[in-house]
Structure 1
Amino acid sequence: MGSVFLPHLNTGWHVDQAILSEDDRLVVIRFGREEEPDCMIIDEILFSISEKVKNFAAIYLCNLDKVPDFNQMYELDQDRSEPYTIMFFFRNKHMMCDFGTGNNNKLNFMIYDKQELIDIIETIYRGAKKGKGLVVSPKDYSTLRRGG
């Protein structure tokens, strides 16, 4: 179980501290509900890549029900249709990524390929280091079908 090993942010204060604490690494936060199947899958993938990306990214998990503080601000799963949302922050700044989906604020679709997720995190990190607030994903996800 990946979600057992990755650090959990249990309050809004912890989320803020995680975002503020990193000066040179990308902060990756998965907002979601551990008990949902797709969330379990992405947690497993995040855990499996955490060692590979640890030099440039810190990965955290945040349960939407336990920490509702950001649900409205970041439009997180208002209608429970998103299995999870991954957001990226660098030096206390929300990083945007153009996945071709029309939503640049967050990654909220399934990625099953570990290398693909590593590439996304690395691309956002590189853009962040260059001072960009918006980076373009290494792959265009506009052809994704909702609901599989």
Structure 2
Amino acid sequence: MSFILQTLTTKQEVNRVIRDTLDKVLILRFGRASDSICLQLDDILAKSSRELSKFAVVALVDIDAEELNIYVKYFDIVLIPSTVFFFNAHHMKMDSGTPDHTKWVGSFQCKQDFIDVVEAIFRGAMKGKLIVSCPLPPEKIPRFQLLFKDV
């Protein structure tokens, strides 16, 4: 399904899409096309992209592209897939009850969950917020045990 979605492989492509996506939520999925969970998420993203097209843009970021290590480090992408949201070049955060508000880690259980999250981010962004509350119930939010190095 990822052939439906734009795949970004250079720093310039990522910079351009962040800078040029105006008045829409930009969804960047960081991951690998060979990973089964990424493929599951890509399927949900592709199936949702048409419904979200009026207020959101989805792009895939290949974390193995050497040039994109700067983003992988900046957004602390340790687990894949990780999904990062932007609005008018501002990084949008979401409080989902997890320690990390900067990205969504893992897949969504279904297409509607993803649409609900993007709608919540869009509504919050239109009100000038940079962080929104996750609209999903806690049982639908993937949980990961975060391990901190050198703590």
With the length of structure 2 as denominator, give the TM-score of the two structures.
0.88
The CA distance in 2 between the partners of 1:22 and 1:145, in whole Å, is: 30
1:4-83 superposed matches below 5 A: 4-66=3-65, 67-77=68-78, 82-83=79-80
Residue 72 of structure 2 aligns with an amino acid whose one-letter code is N
After the TM superposition, list the runs of 4 or more consecutive aligned residues in structure 1 that deviate by more than 4 angstroms.
142-145
Deviation at 1:144, TM superposition (A): 4.5
Deviation at 1:91, TM superposition (A): 0.8
Deviation at 1:68, TM superposition (A): 1.8
The CA distance in 2 between the partners of 1:44 and 1:144, in whole Å, is: 17
Secondary structure, aligned partner of 1:8: strand
The answer to whether the 8 A contact 1:101-1:141 is kept is no
The CA distance in 1 between the partners of 2:2 and 2:70, in whole Å, is: 20
The CA distance in 2 between the partners of 1:23 and 1:15, in whole Å, is: 14
The CA distance in 2 between the partners of 1:37 and 1:109, in whole Å, is: 11
Give the aligned CA root-mean-square deviation in angstroms: 1.6
Q: Of residues 120, 129, 132 in structure 1, which corresponds to 2:129?
A: 132
Secondary structure, aligned partner of 2:3: helix
Aligned residues: 142
Residue 20 of structure 1 aligns with an amino acid whose one-letter code is R
Q: Of residues 112, 115, 126 in structure 1, which corresponds to 2:109?
A: 112
With the length of structure 1 as denominator, give the TM-score of the two structures.
0.90
The CA distance in 1 between the partners of 2:62 and 2:106, in whole Å, is: 17
Gaps of at least 5 residues in structure 2 are: 146-151
Q: Of residues 119, 125, 150 in structure 2, which corresponds to 1:122?
A: 119
Give the aligned partner of residue 97 of structure 2.
100
Identity %: 31
The CA distance in 1 between the partners of 2:126 and 2:83, in whole Å, is: 19
